[in-house]
Structure 1
Amino acid sequence: MEIITTTENLAEFCEHAEAQEFVCVDTEFMRESTFYSELCLIQMSTKDREVIVDPLADDIDLAPFCKMLMAKSVTKVLHAARQDMEIFYQLCETVPGPIFDTQIAAMALGFGDSVGYGALVKGRLNINLDKGARFTDWSRRPLSEKQLSYALADVTHLRDLYPGMIKELEERKRLKWVKEEMLPQMEESLYTFEPEEAWQRLKVRNPKKQYLAALKAAAAWREREAIAKNVPRRRILKDDAMYDLAQQRPRDLKALERLRGVPRGFEKSRTAQPLLDAISAAVDNAAEYAPPAPKVQHMPPNLGPRVEMLRTLLRLRTEVVGLATRMVANSADINKLAAFGEDADIDALKGWRREIFGEDALALLDGKLALRLDGEDVVVEPVG
């Protein structure tokens, strides 16, 4: 097991990795008590080498790692890449690429929605992973041999998974589908924390401008406080408090004290008045400051039977071709399809998804296809 604790050794390995076709990457981090993830370990493997990088070592600069992440010559292979990509963005201030997410690839190979790494390793390599060290505090030093071996397994098995998955995707002509599914993970907006956009993480419960302005201001204030103190948002104020602030729009400390969602005694803190000032300024300028109210599509009544039939059809069609249902359509897509048919603006009615499911779904809604029981099986057949 090769442990890297110096910039020189890290640079040497990253130079080696950049010359490869692919490098498998994983991280161990802590985030329970911080806003930003605390990077504690980096695991990497190529065809003939595997290393663990200690980013907490005194004598290490991660610049060579960032350079490798940006290198277009080498594909970075990860599993469930979202959180790792967020860490890499904060570390390198740009989105890494190219990447290959084996969790998304597994969906295209029929492993179901959001399959875990252990299940994928068991399903494709017939190896049971040791989960004994998964609750490790990765920020503590020293780490035991068992803990390091557990961490390293996240990339050594990934190295064995990747070539076979690529080969099967190419044989089944689905590699393009997987690359399309990965595109949203390359959007920079996914990894930035812009305070004025923080309201979008919350549910809008009232379309009025004053409510929207107060919600936006409260969320922006909380985001700035959480970033400045590097603590989770909930440590500042919970979401319920955001909704109370937007609905009641308190102007003074007494009104703030009466809100159920705000912790007792918060009105006495040094941050209480700045929060009130931000909300008041936003409400007074609501016409300009408030974000646009989300567009609401009014669903027709009695969609339940249509939705259930479409879900059944989706399961049948994806089982036949060996795909995860969510890769074709999610619950929101099914509801829109049931309500608006051909006019539904969903991916399930475009490209390869339309061929697999969309056309049949429209035919089912139009009464040209039917579902019936044949013994214990559900069968799809044309009508007439």
Structure 2
Amino acid sequence: MASQEYPDPVKDFKGFQSSLFKALVAATAAANSIPVEEVGFYRSLDRDFAKDLDHAGSSSLAIGNALLQQCAIDSGLEVTNFEDVDDVIQRYGAATDVCDGLLEKADHCLDQIRGKGVPEDIKQDAPEVTQIATKDKLEYKFLHANNVVRPQIKFKDAVDNSNSTPFERKIKYKPHALIPLDSTASLEETNKSLPHPYGHEIRHIEYPQRMFERAEPEMYKPYETTSAIWVDTEEKLMEMMQRLEGAEELAVDLEHHNYRSFQGFTCLMQLSTRDEDFVIDTLELRDKLWMLNEYFADPNIVKVLHGADSDIIWLQRDFGLYIVNLFDTYFPTKVLEFPHHGLAYLLKKYCSFDADKKYQLADWRIRPLPVEMLDYARSDTHFLLYIYDCLRNELLDKSTSEGNLVKICLQRSSEIALQKYDKDVYDALTGTGPGGWKNMLAKWKYAMNPQQLAVFKALHSWRDHTAREEDESWRYVLPNHMLFALVERMPVDSSGVIGCCNPCPTLVRMNAQAIAFEIQKAKRDAALVAKESAFIEDTKPQLETVTTSAPSGVTTTKMQVQQIKRNVSNVDPALFDLKKVKKLRAADVAKLEKKSSALFGSSL
């Protein structure tokens, strides 16, 4: 019976993994059956329950310590046992370090077994699928590939991560223009990015009348019997654009990657008409997609997206694409007061389609793209135009003479389309901005002394500089929890830096000595500032307020500087008279001098 419940991991690892996961879920559910804040109440009601709880806690702690010690030996670490729950909370980072060490060793061993000793960015392995299934729930899938060749290497437009130069927009040709492309001012003259090239067109758009007329929703093609057209060459792109001729609505979505890149980049574009689905390899066609402005900027073509905030920015940054006549299906869910506002809810409500989010965390840089990822990407736009029809009808049905709900959603959508991409400026001094240290510091729940604060600012600045220079994300260069571990311990040598980061990120290991120097310098500077502040405070004159009243009733207040009196020992000024000192010494010598010696006799 036990063997059926817990399969042999050697013979049936997947079955064992599934059983283990179910047991963990059941144990977690049981542990959470009583809220933490109510445990004390139940303990006071039943003494036997309290004893059983204490016994279970002691057993769990003993088992945890035994596992921790065994794993620490395998990881080459030394960890003292946890004594009680408070000790576990305060020193839980030690357990995290041990787990990270085991995972790093396991990853290294797996790479050796599979023969993956090729340097990174040289060879790309086939994608792998990791999945965990639970009963009556979608399984979690993480599709990834090791040693992916970095797409930035092949980009024809050089990536500029500098903190000083503004973003240079990529649009050079402006179709469907009401006013010509504004390119009179240069970046060197203004030191600011140029204005939104389609701002005037978006603000003065004349929407097609059909958008405000009720019509029967046009049913989508069957999902199971259709497939997407893969577009990865300029010839295929031109063929796709010919097929887009005459389309009155386009559904658009993007897939993005931002872990191995500082600014991030778009990996995939999904585009659907009423009849066809296209999936565009934006890594291959990055410098060609500006041609889609013929359709994206056409005010007579409705561009339907869901939650387009990020998509609008990515289109501008990567391809120089701008959308005129945007309909964001997110806003009708708010105006119509739907209980949920995600695309998954709309797919279920109108299409009875269960959105499969198993590949939400997939690495979209993988090429060739697996079929299951291609299908997942296509589902985001395949049904969207039908959903747009349904939403538009509901908005029109609920509109009144006081307000047209379609126009309200279009107004909110136009505000999204008017967003303009600009680089996030890093201010190391004030720490303000999306990537500044100020927001991160506000979330840190532990107090820092002046030296730790100085180290935190220095490391945060080093991380930003390194990420920009290497074109990597902050998370890849130095994760937040490792940054705070360095701040807490403030190591001053390379081995200490590496010891704080387990597993140690590549760029931290390469720059461990430089990081240690930054920490030393920050600690020294903080100590000097503290001494100077103490000296200034000690010597600063105090202000004394004197208030006087005249017979006329006028009150006068004066601020008088009160000098601080210091205790100075009384020193005889004669001590600094060198002639007098010399005379006194000669007198002392004359008194002590003898004319004869018992050893040498008379000196005369």
- After TM superposition, the score normalised by the length of structure 1 is 0.55
Question: What SS does the aligned partner of 1:225 have?
Answer: helix
Q: How big is each residue's C-alpha offset from its partner over 1:213-244, in whole Å with a ceiling of 9 and x where there is no partner?
A: 98776545423322332333123233356678
CA contact (8 A) 2:451 2:522 kept: no
1:228 aligns with 2:469: yes
C-alpha distance 270-141 of structure 1, shift in aligned 2 (>3 A): same
1:27 aligns with 2:254: yes
C-alpha distance 46-184 of structure 1, shift in aligned 2 (>3 A): closer
In structure 1, which of residues 237, 245, 253 is the aligned counterpart of residue 478 of structure 2? Answer: 237
1:192 aligns with 2:418: no
Question: What SS does the aligned partner of 1:52 have?
Answer: strand
Partner amino acid for 1:23? L
1:65 aligns with 2:292: yes
CA contact (8 A) 2:486 2:497 kept: no
Please list, as runs of the form range in 1=range in 2, the aligned pairs for 1:169-188 lying within 5 A after superposition: 169-172=395-398, 173-179=404-410, 181-182=412-413, 183=415, 186-188=418-420
Question: What SS does the aligned partner of 2:384 have?
Answer: helix
1:150 corresponding residue in structure 2? 376
C-alpha distance 34-78 of structure 1, shift in aligned 2 (>3 A): same
1:84 Cα deviation from its structure 2 partner: 2.9
1:79 corresponding residue in structure 2? 306
Please list, as runs of the form range in 1=range in 2, the aligned pairs for 1:1-384 lying within 5 A after superposition: 1-14=228-241, 17=244, 20-57=247-284, 61-65=288-292, 68-92=295-319, 96-115=323-342, 117-129=343-355, 136-172=362-398, 173-179=404-410, 181-182=412-413, 183=415, 186-188=418-420, 192-196=423-427, 197=433, 198-199=435-436, 201-204=439-442, 219-239=460-480, 253=492, 269=512, 271-272=514-515
C-alpha distance 145-234 of structure 1, shift in aligned 2 (>3 A): closer
Question: What SS does the aligned partner of 1:231 have?
Answer: coil
Q: How big is each residue's C-alpha offset from its partner over 1:330-359, in whole Å with a ceiling of 9 and x where there is no partner?
A: xxxxxxxxxxxxxxxxxxxxxxxxxxxxxx
**Which structure 1 segments of 5+ residues have no match?**
287-384
Partner amino acid for 1:223? D
Question: In structure 2, how many angstroms separate the alpha carbons of the residues matched to 1:137 and 1:35?
Answer: 16
Question: In structure 1, how many angstroms separate the alpha carbons of the residues matched to 2:364 and 2:306?
Answer: 19
C-alpha distance 282-131 of structure 1, shift in aligned 2 (>3 A): same
Larger fraction in helix: 1
1:106 Cα deviation from its structure 2 partner: 1.8
C-alpha distance 259-134 of structure 1, shift in aligned 2 (>3 A): closer
C-alpha distance 4-272 of structure 1, shift in aligned 2 (>3 A): same
Question: What SS does the aligned partner of 2:383 have?
Answer: helix
Partner amino acid for 2:440? L
213-222 or 252-261: bigger deviation: 252-261
Q: How big is each residue's C-alpha offset from its partner over 1:134-189, in whole Å with a ceiling of 9 and x where there is no partner?
A: 56543333335444333222111012111221232243333344345443574336
Question: In structure 2, how many angstroms separate the alpha carbons of the residues matched to 1:68 and 1:134?
Answer: 28
C-alpha distance 111-59 of structure 1, shift in aligned 2 (>3 A): closer
CA contact (8 A) 1:11 1:65 kept: no
C-alpha distance 98-254 of structure 1, shift in aligned 2 (>3 A): farther
2:204 corresponding residue in structure 1? none
Question: In structure 1, how many angstroms separate the alpha carbons of the residues matched to 2:525 and 2:409?
Answer: 43
Partner amino acid for 1:140? I
C-alpha distance 254-153 of structure 1, shift in aligned 2 (>3 A): closer
Question: In structure 2, how many angstroms separate the alpha carbons of the residues matched to 1:72 and 1:275?
Answer: 54
CA contact (8 A) 1:42 1:53 kept: yes
**Which structure 2 segments of 5+ residues have no match?**
1-227, 399-403, 428-432, 530-604
CA contact (8 A) 2:493 2:513 kept: no
CA contact (8 A) 2:497 2:512 kept: no
Q: How many residues align structurally? A: 282
C-alpha distance 128-203 of structure 1, shift in aligned 2 (>3 A): same
Question: In structure 2, how many angstroms separate the alpha carbons of the residues matched to 1:230 and 1:281?
Answer: 31
1:123 Cα deviation from its structure 2 partner: 0.8
Question: In structure 2, how many angstroms separate the alpha carbons of the residues matched to 1:69 and 1:275?
Answer: 48
- After TM superposition, the score normalised by the length of structure 2 is 0.38
1:272 Cα deviation from its structure 2 partner: 1.9
105-114 or 61-70: bigger deviation: 61-70
Question: In structure 2, how many angstroms separate the alpha carbons of the residues matched to 1:161 and 1:50?
Answer: 15
